[in-house]
Amino acid sequence: MKEIFKKFLRNFGHILSYLFPYKLYAEYAKIRKFIFSGYIKGQFKSVGKNFTVGFPLYMQGGNYIVIGDNFTAFSRFWIDAYDSYEGKIHQPQLVIGNNVSFNFDCHIGCINKVIIGNDILVASKVYITDHFHGDIERNLTPPTKRPLVSKGPVIIEDNVWIGEAVVIMPNVTIGKNSIIGANSVVTKSFPQNSLIAGVPAKLIRTL
């Protein structure tokens, strides 16, 4: 029965493709994005002008999150600021500047401080976190029961380009005008004008 229903939905979609050209469907998707952006905007502490996000968006602790002007995030953007977890209290501060764009499937996690500057371009599947899910001393405790631990904030300065599937770990500062190559894992800080790449990320050259 389930397969018959799936087949019906596929065929129905195929029929709609003749009735409603892709351009028309794209306009509908754009309208839905603006409606959703207006709805979710009120869930944050502060949001600037020209705020646009795709559906769905996953959020936790919006009252600790500040976003500047001209922010864009594509579908499945995941942003969370936890003030408590497993009995431990946190004071998260998550600030995103002006003219910041995130592509699909990005995740920002904060229990301490994450500061993202102005004019930042972020590719898809990027993960930025200021904490670890537990520590080695508690390795016999199930991971979901371990308290979250932060070794320091994440600060991304202005005019940084972050490539596809990059991971930025806690206690890291990325200097302004830097580029992070695809699939890099950033475990330490780098000065401004750095081109970095690798696992763990290393300085390739100064721009």
How does pLDDT run across 142-171, given as a tens digit for each residue?
777 888 889 999 999 999 999 999 999 999
Extents of the domains making up the chain: 42-206
Q: What per-residue confidence (pLDDT) applies to 170? A: 97
Place of tokens 């029965």: 1
Give residue 37's pLDDT band: very low, low, confident or very high (50, 70, 90). confident
Which runs of consecutive H residues, i.e. helices, occur in 20-104?
Answer: 22-41
Active-site residue set? 131
Of the candidates 68, 149, 53, 70, the one whose C-alpha atom is nearest the C-alpha of residue 115 is 68
User: Is the full-model pTM beyond 0.75?
Assistant: yes
Residues 114 and 127 sit within 8 Å (Cβ to Cβ): no
Q: What per-residue confidence (pLDDT) applies to 36? A: 82
Q: Which two three-digit tokens encode residue 169?
A: 């770990």
Place of tokens 């705020």: 51
Of the candidates 85, 65, 83, the one whose C-alpha atom is nearest the C-alpha of residue 73 is 65
Separation of alpha carbons 161 and 153, rounded Å: 19
Mean pLDDT of 179-193: 98
Of the candidates 38, 33, 91, 89, the one whose C-alpha atom is nearest the C-alpha of residue 63 is 91
Q: Which two three-digit tokens encode residue 14?
A: 């195929």
pLDDT of 55-64, one tens digit each?
A: 999 999 999 9
Kindly report the CATH number that applies to the domain delimited by 42-206: 2.160.10.10
